[in-house]
Chains A and B, each alone.
Chain A
Amino acid sequence: MKFERKQMSRAMIISMVFLLVGAVLVRAAPLGQEEAPRVSLVTAIAVGVAYYISLSPFLGNLGFTIFYRPLMAGTVVGLIMGQLGRGIAIGANINILYLGWISAGGSLPGDPGLAGYLGTALALGGGLDTDAALAVAAPLGLLGGLTWSLRMSTCSLIPHWADQRAAEADIAGVARSNVIYSQPFLFFVYAVPVTLAAYLGSSAVAQALGWIGANAGWVMSGLFAASGMLAALGIGLNLVFLFRGNEWPYYFVGFVVASFIEGEVNLLMLAIIAAALAYVHILFTTGFSSETGVVAEEREAPGLLTKRDVFKSWIRWLFFSHAAYNWERLQGLGFAHAMTPIIEKLYKTKEEIRKALLRHLVFFNTQPDIGGIILGATIAMEEERAAGADISGDAINSVKTGLMGPMAGIGDTVQQGIVIPIALAIAMNIATGGDVTGATRGNILGPLFFLAVGIAFAWGVGWFLYWQGYKQGRSAVTNILRSGTLNRFIQGAGVLGNFIIGVLTVSFVSLSTPVALTIGGSVFEVQGILNSFMPNLLPLVLVMLIWWLLSKKDVQPTWIMLAIIVIAILGAYPIWPGVNPETGEAIRVGLFG
């Protein structure tokens, strides 16, 4: 008890220090005399809170996978700031970089949520053009890594408090540890810095833009060029995942098909072509014959639990699997919390409850939607054990720890590698009418489409697998894997993914050059010469170069990102030979158009 209070007060002190530092900063911040803050404090607070919520457990597993993505962040911030259309367009623009973003096993490569929420607030508040937003927001995403390690280390304390509750057979105490103790701390860590940055940052952005406009206009065109080229990094990151096996040629099919289309690309229509190709591809490679006629083995349930009990457990898992996510046990506490209604129903003596709680507080980590099947199977085993079957606690845990890895491998591939990127690409396409880099007003149908896919996956597929896990026990996993459907799905999605990424190379990446050489009186426009070989040659070369650096040379995405921004801005300095398109006079231009 004492131990717990001490830890608790430590977390509260850390939070209070954050708050105080924040308050002092706001008071002492040297705001320009006549320059009023572009974002009101109330709005800034709303943005900070929205960022926290996107990572909180309160959205039923739609946070990290849906609302944490810049497209949704832009939509939410746009709504808060009364500029919905622009917010969506900016969010879509920033999202290009994070299309292929995968966070596996507690690793966090950059922070799309921070780039999305803060980036959109700064762009809207500071009056930044949509197509330059990505270049400003992208570096912000790097800062998120700092908060992440602070959070993952600090929350490692919480399972120890839960251990103490469990030792006293305090079921509600374990649930409380998971939900309540982490959130005040996380609220301050996430909401306060973003609130401050949005409040103070937007006038800084506005002032910087004013200065650039007056003194160095070429920098602005550098930012535009950087945004267009950063899209190639987003595509390249996706290609690391997709450009492989015997599915890679479809990337070029998508690229060429999109290059033929003049004007706006309707991705949904092209996706139908890709789906047809995927079908034919599987037909000629793996084939559709099911390897074995597997009949799902129904388990003989002892009848101690009802569907309602399993549902109660699932709801807890859906909301709180990552509530106190930490380095030491990752989802361990979330797992125990999900088991609380089951333990309460099955076990009556203090000793049994204590053992069951401690059994499920150990290290656990999987992909929460697909991995729900493990929780279902665990519930089945607990029920059989309570009914008197000879199943040891160790046996239950060995099934848990054995299955969590394979399910995470499949789940991350399917959800983060396939469902989210493809749904996002289509959503971004709908949101911007096919012109992601240029649209200034977005269509709300795009974010709504993405939200619908997220709900279908996290709630629909999630509950289905949880229930199957309970109904069939651990053999549910083998039954699903044996049918081969999953691997066909992954293969087909590889075809679809490559095709779509090929299309997006054309519609997302913008890179061209206005450089023109005048030799002996005749003008040679470099871009015209390149176009006569093939349209969109430069974007394709850039994407391939970045893919090669990422996958063959192990260059960190961060370095590529910084290099692109530096090269684009320096390259924009007008020292290159060009021609005024109206007068035909020789002038000096930047490297990128």
Chain B
Amino acid sequence: MSSIASWGLVRIDDRLIHGQVIAVWCRHRKFDRIVIVDDGVAADAFMQEILCLSAPPGLEVVVYPVEKGLEILLGQTSGRETTMVLMKTPLVAQKLFEGGLEYEHLNIGGIGSRPGRKNIFKNIAVSPEEIAILKALMDRGVEITLLTVPGEKSKSFAELADKL
């Protein structure tokens, strides 16, 4: 694995593609491909078309269900540094990791609050189960950062983990 470059960004963001991703991340870094891994969106032809069409010129957006996405990502050996892997929940991040996609960094950009989730940083809220998942990923060496966009204040999950 060491000969293959790291992923450009592995990000949890339950809004998937939005202003921060398109107008900030993709302008700050060179991304030419966004792989969205989500069972719900992959099953929704309308949303899939919207997501693919909303990409600006020079950026390709593809949507896969989790299993297929894992297969595609594991098979992608070139251009990883310009690919963003995007998912909605920590659960998907865990499935990808356990499926063999051993990313070193995980960015959490936004998880909306809803009953059962507690706000931990800005617009990021997590449930107890999700905290357990993130801690497990952290223990396996993944560096988890809470950051909306480059240049904003960021927080390391390791710092928060003790208090959760």
Chain A contacts to B: CB under 8 angstroms: 102, 104-107, 109, 152, 156, 240-241, 244-245, 286, 327-330, 362-363, 365-367, 398, 401-413, 416-417, 474, 477-478, 481-482, 487, 490-491, 551, 554, 556-557
17 more A-B contacts (CB under 8 A) besides A107-B149, A405-B16, A410-B22?
A104-B18, A106-B122, A107-B152, A327-B119, A327-B123, A402-B50, A406-B50, A407-B54, A408-B18, A413-B56, A416-B23, A417-B23, A417-B27, A474-B46, A478-B53, A481-B54, A556-B151
Minimum C-beta distance from B71 to chain A (A): 24
Q: Is the CB of B57 within 8 A of A104?
A: no
Nearest B residue (CB) for A237: B151
Contacts of B57 in A (CB 8 A): 245, 286, 487, 490-491
A478 close to B46 (CB less than 8 A): yes
For the complex formed, measure the closest distance between the CB of B49 and the CB atoms of chain A, giving whole angstroms.
Answer: 6
Q: Which of A109, A329, A401, A482 contacts B15 (CB 8 A)?
A: A401
Whether B41 pairs with A402 at a CB distance below 8 angstroms is yes
Closest to A403 in B: B50
CB distance from B130 to the nearest CB of A (A): 16
Option from B41, B123, B150 in Cβ contact (under 8 Å) with A106: B123
B127 CB to closest chain A CB, in angstroms?
15
Q: List 9 A-B contacts (CB under 8 A).
A: A106-B122, A109-B151, A241-B23, A328-B113, A401-B15, A405-B17, A406-B50, A410-B22, A551-B28
* Residues of B in contact with A (beta carbons under 8 Å apart): 15-24, 27-28, 30, 41, 44, 46-47, 49-51, 53-54, 56-58, 110, 112-114, 119, 122-123, 125, 148-152
Known: A105-B18, A241-B27, A409-B21. A362 touches B49 (CB 8 A): no
Do the beta carbons of A490 and B20 come within 8 Å of each other? no
Q: Give the 8 A-B residue pairs with the shortest CB-CB distance, closest first.
A: A409-B22, A412-B19, A405-B18, A406-B54, A104-B19, A481-B53, A412-B23, A363-B112
Q: Of A329, A363, A404, which is within 8 A of B18 by CB?
A: A404
- A286-B57, A478-B46, A491-B57 given as contacts; is B123 within 8 A of A330 (CB)? yes
Given the known inter-chain contacts A104-B149, A330-B123, please indicate yes or no for A404 contacting B54, CB distance below 8 A: no
Q: Given A244-B27, A402-B44, does the pair A107, B148 have CB atoms closer than 8 Å? A: yes
Question: Please, which residues of chain A bring their CB within 8 A of the CB of B53?
Answer: 406, 478, 481-482
Known contacts: A105-B123, A402-B50, A406-B50. The answer to whether A365 contacts B113 by CB under 8 A is no
Asked if residues B113 and A367 are in contact (CB atoms below 8 Å), the reply is no
Expressed in whole angstroms, the Cα–Cα distance for A474 and B16 within the complex equals 19
Residues of chain B within 8 A of A401, CB atoms compared:
15
A212 and B91 alpha carbons, distance in the complex (Å): 60
* Interface-central residue, A104, A241, A245, A412, by most chain B CB under 10 Å: A104
Residues of A close to B113: CB separation below 8 A: 328-329, 363
B106 to chain A, nearest CB (A): 18
Contact A409 B123 (CB under 8 A): no
Q: Give every chain A residue within 8 A of B152 (Cβ-Cβ).
A: 107, 109
- Cβ of B27 and Cβ of A240 under 8 Å apart? yes
The docked-state distance in angstroms from the alpha carbon of A412 to that of B25 is: 12
Give the one of A363, A367, A404, A477 with max B CB within 10 A. A363
Bound form: Cα–Cα A401–B44 in Å: 13
Known: A107-B152, A286-B57. A102 touches B50 (CB 8 A): no
Pairwise interchain contact A406-B123, C-beta atoms closer than 8 A: no
B22 and A105 within 8 A (CB): no
Q: Which of B49, B58, B122, B151 counts the most chain A CB atoms within 10 A?
A: B151
Q: How far is the CA of A554 from the CA of B29 in the complex (A)?
A: 10
Do residues B56 and A487 form an inter-chain contact, with CB atoms below 8 A?
yes
A481 and B52 alpha carbons, distance in the complex (Å): 10
* In the bound complex, CA of A474 to CA of B41 (Å): 16
| A405 to B114 alpha-carbon distance, docked (Å) | 18
Cα–Cα, bound, A526→B118 (Å): 61
Q: Which B residues are in CB contact (< 8 Å) with A410?
A: 22, 54
- In the assembled complex, which residues on chain A have CB atoms less than 8 Å from the CB atom of B125? 328
Collect the chain A residues with CB atoms within 8 Å of residue B21's CB.
405, 409
Contacts of B112 in A (CB 8 A): 329, 362-363
Residues of A within 8 A of B51 (CB): 406
CA distance A481 to B49 in the complex (A): 9
Closest A residue by C-beta to B152:
A107
Residues of B within 8 A of A477 (CB): 50
Closest A-chain residue to B124, C-beta based?
Answer: A327
* A366 partner residues in chain B, CB cutoff 8 A: 18
Q: Which of B20, B27, B50 contacts A481 (CB 8 A)?
A: B50
Q: Which residue of B lies closest to A362 (CB)?
A: B114
Inter-chain CA distance A449–B30, complex, in Å, is: 35
Cβ distance A555 to chain B, nearest Cβ, rounded Å:
9
- Nearest residue in A to B109 (C-beta to C-beta)? A105
The docked-state distance in angstroms from the alpha carbon of A330 to that of B47 is: 22
Instruction: Knowing A327-B123, A365-B15, say if A107 contacts B22 (CB, 8 Å).
Output: no
A104 touches B20 (CB 8 A): yes
Given A241-B27, A478-B49, A411–B54 Cβ distance below 8 Å?
no
In the complex, A481 Cα to B51 Cα: how many Å? 10
Across the interface, which residues of B come within 8 angstroms of A402, CB to CB? Answer: 41, 44, 46-47, 50
**Which residue on A lies nearest to B59, using beta carbons?**
A245
Residue numbers in A under 8 Å from B16 (CB-CB): 405
The answer to whether A412 and B150 have CB atoms under 8 Å apart is no
User: How far, in Å, is A44 (CB) from chain B's closest CB?
Assistant: 31
Cross-chain contact A240 with B18 (CB below 8 angstroms) = no
Q: What's the minimum C-beta distance from B37 to chain A, rounded to whole angstroms?
A: 15
Cβ contact within 8 Å between A406 and B49: no
Residues of B within 8 A of A330 (CB): 123
- Who on chain B is nearest to A477 by CB? B50
Cα separation A219 to B18 with both chains bound (whole Å): 45
Residue of A401, A402, A406, A411 with highest tally of chain B CB at under 10 A? A406
Given contacts A102-B23, A330-B123, contact A245 B50 (CB under 8 A): no
Does B56 contact A412, Cβ atoms closer than 8 Å?
no
Chain B residue numbers with a CB within 8 Å of A404 are 15, 18
CB pair A102 B24 closer than 8 Å? yes
User: Which chain B residues lie closer than 8 Å to A490 at the CB level?
Assistant: 56-57
Q: Is the CB of B50 within 8 A of A408?
A: no
Given A245-B57, A478-B53, A481-B54, A105 and B27 contact (CB-CB distance below 8 Å): no
Contact across chains for A104 and B24 when beta carbons are under 8 A apart: yes
Residues of chain A with a CB closer than 8 A to B18's CB: 104-105, 365-366, 404-406, 408-409, 412
